[in-house]
């Protein structure tokens, strides 16, 4: 008679096989895995709990995203951060496609990214900004995204919902936007705003 751990393993494998070969699924998806303290394994292709971690990537989907958006080789699969992004977007009332576009433009989906100016993580938060947003670890995707989305909400409120001005402020600071009464005449900032809005349309 198989032991308890073997039964749990068999159950987990059966669930995984069912998810990966289900005939009704029109497309492949990443498979996520979570193990209970008692050893029970759970698998899903639509995680609703942050304890689920990517177990098996949808290689075709990952390749398609990298090709369509020209993501760098060090980028993580954007789908990996989908649950965090959706949760924070709902919490702060910011369009998830805008959040994805900012992450794409800021770090190329690299949680370890550090800019020459010292901005850190997926949404490239400056240390002082992160401190004000109560982000304890800029390299923790969940903390970083939540802080970045909260900051976007603040900027959107400050500029009365004007996404272009909010993005300009995200890139060059609120002081620059206030000084010039609009998007600053900086090539970098103007290019940044146009790029993020373009990415945003693709993520919709």
| Residue 163 annotated among the catalytic residues of the structure | no
* pLDDT of res. 146: 96
pLDDT means per 10 residues, the chain with 204 residues, are: 45 45 44 68 67 57 52 69 95 96 92 90 94 93 96 96 96 94 93 93 84
Q: Over 16-49, what HEC string results?
A: HHHHHHCCCCCCCCCEEEEECCCCCEEEECCCCC
pLDDT at 156: 97
* Tens digits of residue pLDDT in 46-73: 667 767 665 555 545 555 555 455 555 5
The SS3 call for residue 72 is coil
pLDDT score of 78: 83
Structural domains of the chain, ranges and CATH numbers in brackets: 31-58 (no CATH), 78-203 (1.10.530.10)
Residue 98: predicted pLDDT = 97
Per-position b or e across 112-147, b if 16+ CB within 10 A of its CB:
ebeeeeebbbbbbbeeebbeebebeebeebbbbbbb
Q: What pLDDT score does 54 carry?
A: 57
Catalytic residue from among 35, 80, 91, 106:
106
Helix (H, G, I), strand (E, B) or coil at 82: helix
Q: What pLDDT, on the 0 to 100 scale, is given for residue 201?
A: 87
């Amino acid at each position: 008679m198989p032991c308890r751990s073997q039964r749990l393993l068999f159950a987990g494998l059966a669930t995984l096989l069912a998810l990966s070969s289900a005939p009704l699924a029109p497309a492949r998806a990443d498979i996520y895995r979570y193990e209970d303290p008692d050893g029970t394994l759970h698998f899903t292709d639509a995680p609703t709990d942050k304890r689920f971690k990517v177990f098996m990537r949808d290689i075709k989907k990952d390749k398609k995203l990298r090709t369509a958006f020209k993501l760098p080789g060090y980028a993580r699969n954007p789908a990996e951060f989908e649950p965090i992004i959706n949760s924070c977007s709902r919490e702060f009332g910011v369009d998830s496609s805008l959040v994805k576009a900012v992450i794409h433009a800021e770090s190329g989906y690299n949680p370890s990214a550090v800019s020459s100016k010292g901005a850190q993580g997926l949404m490239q938060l400056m240390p002082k900004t992160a401190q004000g947003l109560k982000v304890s670890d800029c390299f923790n995707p969940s903390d970083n995204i939540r802080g970045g989305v909260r900051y976007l909400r603040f900027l959107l409120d400050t500029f009365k919902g004007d996404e272009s001005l909010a993005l300009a402020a995200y890139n060059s600071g609120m002081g620059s936007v206030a000084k010039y009464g609009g998007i600053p005449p900086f090539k970098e900032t103007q290019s940044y705003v146009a790029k993020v809005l373009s990415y945003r349309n693709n993520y919709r």
